[in-house]
Amino acid sequence: MNGNAIYTISEITASVKQLIEENFNQVSLIGEISNFKPHFSGHWYFTLKDKNAQINCTMWKGVNSYVFFTPQDGMKVIVTGKLSVYPPRGSYQIDVRSMKPAGEGELQAAFEKLKLRLSSEGLFEAVHKKSIPRFPEKIGVVTAIDGAALRDMISVLNRRYPIAELIIAASKVQGQGAAEEIVRSIRLLNTRKDIDVIIVGRGGGSIEDLWAFNEEIVAREIFASSIPIISAVGHEIDFTISDFVADLRAPTPTAAMELATPEKEEIFAFIADFSYNSSDKIFRKIRNYRQEINSISNSYGFKNPQGLIKTKIQFLDNLLYRINNSTQKIIVNAKNNLELINATIEANNVDKILKKGFTLIKQKGSIIPKAKNFSGNDDFIIKFVDKEVVVNRNG
């Protein structure tokens, strides 16, 4: 470029862009993720940094689907891609084509970080755990359809409890997109109303192989399931986030099917024992009732029912006789009281007294019973049996 020439910003930026992109077509960088932002479009934007510098990174939708884990701030990763320049800002960035953790330690750190956060939210609390049904009719399974884990679970089911039906929701269990498929399968099984329990799992593997079961979206989907879920991931020594959030953790897929089903031999033994005990109880009740019936049939009432009836008739006759006598006494007493009251009323009949020649003196509307109550200056009335005579004192 001519040092004396004057360039536009676009021209110099284009030259820098060409220079960088031609010389850094594929580079691998190791650094720590910060400001990770998954855009709603599906693209990822983040910064990769070390202690002295940082670089902007972009990972496009479709490319990032091959990443088996969800990047988190603070995670140390190795990315591969090409350097490019973003002209509107005049900044350079790396167009990331692949990403992997910088060792198992980074995945373990991400595991512990998510575990702590979900635990603080209460997703692991026993109060949220749903009970596993004892006799399931239909068992949902989320796993790889061609995996050894499914074959082992089918074998255990046929041996222990062949009357149960398996509903398989096939899903990838490792690699890119596995977490999303596991979530879709759990949701699909939850749309049914006839599934009693769900087993989610796979066989053993490395931490990278099992990572889909450490994804937050899988953990939250297991927690949200209305159907009880048994987590069966890896071997007995393997633990995933799914194990902590599930309603029950099984050390292996085989153990999960054993936990989900009863043993048919135990059921047969229970039925035999129940049948024996029930028969014994029934015969014992029959013997007790036979003794009770014999006791009743041999009692006096069954041997001489006519005597009991006659005794009750005699008791009833006596009761009626007593009631009749009591009623007659009440009537006679009432009649005598009535006659006494009537005689008293007749004895005090004013008309009868007047017919005998007696008279009554009334003054100021009242009968004068005594001489001291009579006023010689006022008019008064003399009442005879046939009429009243008014005596005027003034006239």
* Each residue's pLDDT tens digit, 34-77: 999 988 888 999 999 988 899 999 999 888 877 888 888 888 88
Whether the predicted model's global pTM rises above the 0.85 cut: no
In DSSP terms, which residues pair with 80 in a beta bridge?
A: 28, 98
Question: Are the C-beta atoms of residues 347 and 356 closer than 8 Å to each other?
Answer: no
CATH of domain 125-262: 3.40.50.261
**388 vs 53 pLDDT, higher one:** 53
* Mean pLDDT computed over 362-387: 81
Q: What are the pLDDT digits (tens) for 114-144?
A: 899 999 999 999 999 999 999 999 999 999 9
Q: How far apart are CA 160 and CA 173, in angstroms?
A: 26
SS (H, E, C) 311-360: HHHHHHHHHHHHHHHHHHHHHHHHHHHHHHHHHHHHHCCHHHHHHCCCCE
What pLDDT score does 157 carry?
A: 95
Residue 395 scores a pLDDT above 70? no
State residue 1's pLDDT score.
Answer: 59
Contact (CB, 8 A) for 108 and 69: no
Mean per-residue pLDDT over the chain, rounded:
87
Q: Is the pLDDT confidence value at 161 over 80?
A: yes
Q: How far apart are the first and last CA of the chain?
A: 166
Domain parsing of the chain, residue ranges: 9-102, 125-262, 301-345, 350-391
Residue 234 CB coordination number (10 Å): 23
Q: Look at 238 and 57; give whichever has higher pLDDT.
A: 57
Determine the pLDDT at residue 3: 63
Confirm or reject CATH 2.40.50.140 for domain 9-102, answering yes or no.
Answer: yes
CA 205 to chain centre: 37
Question: Which range, of 122-131, 197-206, 308-317, averages the lowest pLDDT?
Answer: 308-317
Neighbours of 353 (CB within 10 A): 14
Strand 229-233: give its sheet, edge to edge. Answer: 165-170, 138-143, 197-202, 229-233, 248-249
E strand residue ranges, 153-220: 165-170, 197-202
Nearest to 43 by CA among 69, 65, 18, 24: 65
For the chain, strand residue ranges (E) read 27-38, 44-49, 54-59, 76-86, 91-101, 138-143, 165-170, 197-202, 229-233, 248-249, 360-363, 366-367, 380-383, 388-391
Distance CA 199, CA 184 (A): 14
> Which has more confidence, 232 or 373?
232
Closest C-alpha to 238, from 140, 381, 108, 52: 108
Find residue 142's DSSP bridge partners.
169, 200
108 pLDDT higher than 90: no
Residue type, 372: K
